[in-house]
Structure 1
């Protein structure tokens, strides 16, 4: 769903009344593989756009200029419907950047099959493996669109073999490209459909591009038959069609319809991934791919409904993709549109969604249940289907459909829409943890309130963003998944919400503690006529082990500090611990012993002794020996075996201590290390460089440890310079 350049216009999207007539296909692949170009080519081949990707009003489906690409990345998903083979096919384009893993997972939730787009000129890099594994983890059936096969240097056979080696034996050619010429004069002149044995002629003498009917060229006929037998054996093995197997073993003619049905079964089960060569720019393979999509991808009926719970948290059983069933839909993405308002991209899993009906909106997490703003009823606005930058009106959305819904003001990405009489919650896809923080502040003081509102809306739209206001450092911190994600968020703040922001380094909350026992005097005496203040206390301060907190000991003898004011001294000590010692960082892990003091019969009070307690601890900190403490996190880094050494060396350079490694299936290693948080602020970015995109990590706070003397001195100098 893309940002709109104006209000919705006339025209209607393709519609289907039966889920069996729907196909939802998500385009997945690394950036640069040609997903968007392929999407435009398929839409043109289906008659939905002209050759340049324009729809009726002149807007384009694909985005190619820099600003448009930035806009597309910011939105995340782009959808477009088309009609082919008597079916409604909705294409869902996803970002190929590693920072937008959340949008990819939303696209996988939207679809029932993935068209994995890879370039014939590129190998399987870490990004490709990551995307493939994401599809596998979601149980997503996959076909492979192999682009740039018309390039003179394209070696389709070697590329497919590399994919089989890296991604699995199920990656199998379904078409054989035919070339003439050699070297730079090598030209793609046709395609052989392996199952159908049809030849699609794209040569200069063809009556029209892709004409069918000519004989398979002799120089590829033997290879085509070899590949056909291999494909049929894969289909039989994965579909477990015994009738087809028996016919194949007897050498008889195979029923084409049964062969196609078994192909779809094999793909739907996730064991077969047919490879379809295509040149989106010049045309070969596009029409063939459009013909194959309905045959080799499952309908929503063949896919299970995601795990669903009732309001009490119990699983809901028996839900099916049935237009007559109870309403169940999920918000895949939310956008604040300047013309239409709040627009939600929704996938319907059960029932039928209609305009102007009331629905129940459930938050995506159990903590949301019962909150009025996250567990509410809303009226559905107009329904539409996004087509590039347009919204095509739709009368309804049946089970299996993807649509845009206007004016669901309370709905956020990942939320569930269900019937008012039967509230349910779909378990959301897992959102990547944002691990790159940046401090934000409004460029103008007048924008401070608007900034707070804008970042709240951003985090509602994008669950991969997290916003926190650190009361200790007084910073607003925006957590992102990477630099590209951050760039998009900042661009949206400026362009969509009109808020100019400045970014800065995130301040890490340090701590301070005593290293040796110290004494402190708190003297709060104000007697200048009238009711004054009088409170004097003497304390000793001793360090305690990490995590011990405050231990307050009362050793007053003889009532020198009246019993009712001893808790007041403790309150003052606790308040000063939060305010900090010499550096202004909070004091931690202390035993404070109150052993002496003085009181006045008239001027002593609770507040007087609170102030005295604060002064006593401050005095001890100023004259005693203290150390600064830094937070230490446990990092769990998952990385390809080839980069384990580089990752461990990098962690050591960050003052980290590797505490263990363990092998993980798939040629990976989990490295666990204890690393100061000061050294990991940009680790989300740096790890990609060190591990060439193969690494991921998680973190959890362990404890505070003494800061090295040179860094402590630097911080103290900075505090002194700030006054």
Structure 2
């Protein structure tokens, strides 16, 4: 039994707190009752130490039932406040709502600088947006997330980066010659300087300039990966050369070198597992082909359903939850997991590059 003013215990956290009023629910009505017994559905408010999924018990007889195995989020949208100062309110509101509803996820994408919310479908996320407005007084917009593309090179280049600035007193002078080529590692830097054409104390500045440049590629401003840079020559000035000058020279060489080494866009590829009744198999396979997906195989499940294993670009999977519901009369489920990066088809890459250039011209 659970009565008003009873001290209850959370075996998961070790916390004790006192129950206030106890209610029985009837539609929208809350009817105050003296107690609720095993088998009753009851409610209480203002619990400080309990979250969804915790078991309420007594300290004298602690009980902790197995946690609910919630489905993984499969529908993702970016959340943005309609006013500039609303970020903090959105973060606080979503954290509180997540304590009530652990079936949605919150993640800040460092690369695209977006706050991504994942749930089971568009209705759940629309409800979250309305709760943020009603309970936390913050208006938000939901939009498809930006895709975190990558850039790399397919060819080789040999370039010079020269930074020379003269203004009154001491100027700035840095001159480097760098070879760029593809690499298996995220970034490799080597130097083959002979005869002191670039003094040893400036070489770390050259590497730093290159590493900072990796954050923004030349095609669509995406992170650059799988590049090897070899500093093999250069020149310096006894008075005007300094670390900053060589850092700038390296970044100039990077931009030039990337453009000359056949740069390409890479897109994230996801591993997809779709569980569907057998009769929808043809529709699902046809739809996956339209999304540029590859079917890897199928497995018959014990209950007669089919588990389809596939790979598909992440960009094609953000709204898949809605389409799958429509195709299978809400009888299909799926899971998506990031797998790797792959070269993007040229016609689609050109579109992404054009959108980036148009956005940065304004």
Q: Counterparts of 1:392-407 in structure 2 under 5 Å?
A: 392-393=31-32, 403-407=42-46
Q: 1:420 to 1:583 in 2, by over 3 A?
A: same
d(CA) in 2 for partners of 1:403, 1:614? 64
1:677 paired with 2:314, answer yes
Structure 1 window deviating more from structure 2 (564-573 vs 635-644): it is: 564-573
CA gap of 1:410–1:576, structure 2 versus 1, over 3 A, is farther
Alignment of 1:660-671 (within 5 A): 660-671=297-308
Partner of residue 79 from structure 2, selected from 434, 440, 446:
440
1:559 aligned to which of 184, 196, 201 = 196
Note closer, same or farther for the CA distance 1:622–1:427 as it changes in structure 2 (3 Å cut): same
SS at match of 1:513: strand
Q: Given the superposition, is the C-alpha separation of residues 425 and 540 from structure 1 closer, same or farther in structure 2, using an over 3 Å criterion?
A: farther
CA contact 1:644–1:669 (8 Å) conserved in 2: yes
Shift of residue 400, structure 1, vs aligned partner? 6.2
Counterparts of 1:185-584 in structure 2 under 5 Å? 355=5, 357=7, 359-360=9-10, 362=12, 375=13, 377=15, 379-388=17-26, 389-393=28-32, 403-416=42-55, 426-530=65-169, 532-545=171-184, 548-584=185-221
Shift of 1:458: 1.7
Measure, in 2, the Cα distance between the counterparts of 1:538 and 1:400: 77
Deviations 1:28-86 (A, max 9, x none): xxxxxxxxxxxxxxxxxxxxxxxxxxxxxxxxxxxxxxxxxxxxxxxxxxxxxxxxxxx
Which of the residues 586, 589, 592 maps onto 2:223? 586
Post-superposition shift, 1:498?
2.2
In structure 2, C-alpha distance between the alignment counterparts of 1:409 and 1:421, rounded to whole Å: 20
For each residue in 1:592-627, what CA deviation from the matched residue of structure 2 results, as whole angstroms up to 9, or x when unmatched? 111112334455444443333322212212343211
Structure 2 Cα separation of the partners of residues 694 and 709 of structure 1: 36
* Bigger mean CA offset, 403-412 vs 555-564: 403-412
Residues 678-717 of structure 1 correspond to what in structure 2 (within 5 A)?
A: 678-717=315-354
1:117-155, CA deviations, whole angstroms, 9 ceiling, x for partnerless residues? xxxxxxxxxxxxxxxxxxxxxxxxxxxxxxxxxxxxxxx
Aligned partners of 1:544, 1:353: CA distance in 2, in Å? 67
Q: Does 1:656 align with 2:293?
A: yes
Gaps of 5+ in 2: none
Structure with more strand by fraction:
2
Distance, in Å, in 1 between the alignment partners of 2:293 and 2:7 is 57
Kindly indicate whether the alpha-carbon contact (under 8 Å) linking 2:7 and 2:18 is maintained by their aligned counterparts in 1: yes
Q: Which moved more, 1:496-505 or 1:423-432?
A: 423-432
Q: Residues 582 and 621 of structure 1 are in contact (CA less than 8 Å); yes or no, is this contact kept in structure 2? A: no
Corresponding residue for residue 625 of structure 1: 262
What is the deviation of 1:396? Answer: 5.8
* Structure 1 unmatched runs, 5+: 1-16, 18-351, 363-374
C-alpha deviations, 1:97-127, integer Å up to 9, x for none?
Answer: xxxxxxxxxxxxxxxxxxxxxxxxxxxxxxx
User: Cα offset for 1:528?
Assistant: 2.4
Question: Would you say the 8 A contact 1:568–1:609 is kept in 2?
Answer: yes
Give 1:423 deviation, angstroms: 8.0
Using the alignment, how far apart are the partners of 2:353 and 2:203 within structure 1?
Answer: 33
SS of the equivalent of 1:671 reads strand
SS of 1:578's partner is coil
1:390 Cα offset (Å): 4.2
Shift of 1:560: 2.2
| Offset at residue 414 of structure 1 (A) | 2.1
Structure 1 residue 637 displacement after superposition: 1.0
Whole-angstrom CA distance in 1 between matches of 2:342 and 2:90: 35
TM-score normalised by length of structure 1:
0.46
Local SS of the residue matching 1:476 = strand
Cα pair 1:361 1:411 within 8 Å, conserved: no
Cα distance in 1 for partners of 2:169, 2:5 equals 73
Sort the Cα spacing of 1:578 and 1:418 in 2 relative to 1 into closer, same or farther, 3 A: farther
- Return the match for 1:596 from 230, 233, 236: 233
Give the aligned length. 359
Q: Distance in 1 between matches of 2:323 and 2:172?
A: 56
Q: Which moved more, 1:658-667 or 1:527-536?
A: 527-536
Q: Is the 8 A contact 1:560 1:596 kept in 2?
A: yes
Q: Is the 8 A contact 1:536 1:609 kept in 2?
A: yes
CA apart distance, 1:530: 4.8
Q: CA RMSD in A?
A: 2.7
The residue that corresponds to 1:166 in the other structure is: none
Cα distance in 2 for residues equivalent to 1:380 and 1:611: 64
Distance across 2 between alignment mates of 1:515 and 1:697: 35
The 3 A distance-change label for structure 1 pair 709 and 383 is: same
Structure 1 residues 623 and 354, CA gap change in structure 2 (3 angstroms): same
Displacement after TM superposition at 1:577 (Å): 0.9
Match of 1:633, SS state, is strand
CA-CA distance at 1:385 after TM superposition: 2.1
- Which residue of the partner structure matches residue 367 of structure 1? none
User: Cα 1:495–1:517, aligned 2, differ >3 Å: closer, same or farther?
Assistant: same
Query: How has the CA–CA distance of structure 1 residues 580 and 378 changed in structure 2, closer, same or farther, with 3 Å as cutoff?
Result: farther
Matched with 1:141 is: none
